Amino acid sequence: MKAVCLLSGGLDSATALACALRDGFECYCLSFDYGQRHQVELEAASRVAGALGAAASKVIRIDLRAFGGSALTDDIAVPKGRESAEMAASIPVTYVPARNTVFLSIALAWAEALGAGDLYLGVNAVDYSGYPDCRPEYIEAFERMANLATKAGVEHTTRFRIHTPLIDLSKAEIISLGLSLGVDYSLTHSCYDPIGAQPCGRCDSCVLRRAGFAEAGLADPLEYAG
């Protein structure tokens, strides 16, 4: 059985891929070159797919800079040094308009062409940046739409399912799960605003990752710039 796994190269998506492999799927990894300032994550995605033994990996280019509106794709500063309570209070400027919807839609296209019904996504609604497209109600609505959108869904040859194995886990739990499944976190990259290839240590994504390793009582294999 085949599954399409969205793989950014970060800690969460690497762990979600490891879950898909644990669940017995042959994994087709999909990454996006969308004009993000942290392009270094694409190299991480390729390393992670190779190390975990994915069946295939593909990078699709889609220029979301054409629309702007986010600190990840536009000339807007990435917030630094925020606490997690502050992150949860409002949707930050690193939110990319409709990003997960665009990514999941393209993953759905690949899944249907492959004859795969299962999609894996490393979203998380506990230790997260407050993005609306990481919440369970959004995932359910996407899944429902996907089964009405497609030939395979309408003809009932495939039932599309969006798997979000990390959605209810804390960052520390995600890290422990990934380690138990053989994820090498030194290969991953989570920073929104890397300094060269080095994670900044102070963006929301770095703050959440570092707190997760600390809470799990483990050392993060990455070296941070700040």
Q: Which of 142, 185, 192, 213 touches its own copies (CB under 8 A)? A: 142
* Region from 38-46, 106-114, 177-185, 189-197 binding its own copies, contact rule CB under 8 A: 106-114
53 binds its own copies (CB under 8 A): no
Nearer to its own copies, 47 or 65 (CB): 65
What contacts 68, CB < 8 A, 6 or more positions away? 74
> In 3-state terms, what secondary structure has residue 110?
helix
CB of 103 to its own copies, least distance (A): 9
CB of 56 to its own copies, least distance (A): 11
Nearer to its own copies, 65 or 82 (CB): 65
* Region from 41-49, 88-96, 172-180, 183-191 binding its own copies, contact rule CB under 8 A: 88-96
Kindly list the distances between the CA atom of residue 131 and the CA atoms of 26, 65, 79, 88, 151, in Å, as whole numbers in the listed order: 29, 19, 15, 9, 30
* Region from 8-16, 99-107, 166-174, 189-197 binding its own copies, contact rule CB under 8 A: 99-107
* Region from 19-27, 132-140, 164-172, 194-202 binding its own copies, contact rule CB under 8 A: 132-140
Residues 29, 58: contact at Cβ < 8 Å? yes
156 binds its own copies (CB under 8 A): no
Residues 65, 74: contact at Cβ < 8 Å? yes
What contacts 87, CB < 8 A, 6 or more positions away? 128, 129, 130, 204, 207, 208
- The neighbouring-strand residues paired with 49 are none
* Region from 14-22, 41-49, 61-69, 76-84 binding its own copies, contact rule CB under 8 A: 61-69
145 binds its own copies (CB under 8 A): yes
Long-range interactions of 84-91: CB distance < 8 A, separation 24+: 84/127, 84/207, 84/208, 84/211, 87/128, 87/129, 87/130, 87/204, 87/207, 87/208, 88/128, 88/130, 89/130, 90/130, 91/130, 91/131, 91/132
Q: Which of 52, 64, 116, 121 touches its own copies (CB under 8 A)? A: 64
> By the criterion CB under 8 A, which residues form the site for its own copies?
58, 60-64, 66-69, 91, 95-102, 104-106, 108-110, 112-114, 132-133, 135, 137-138, 141-142, 144-146, 148-151, 153-155
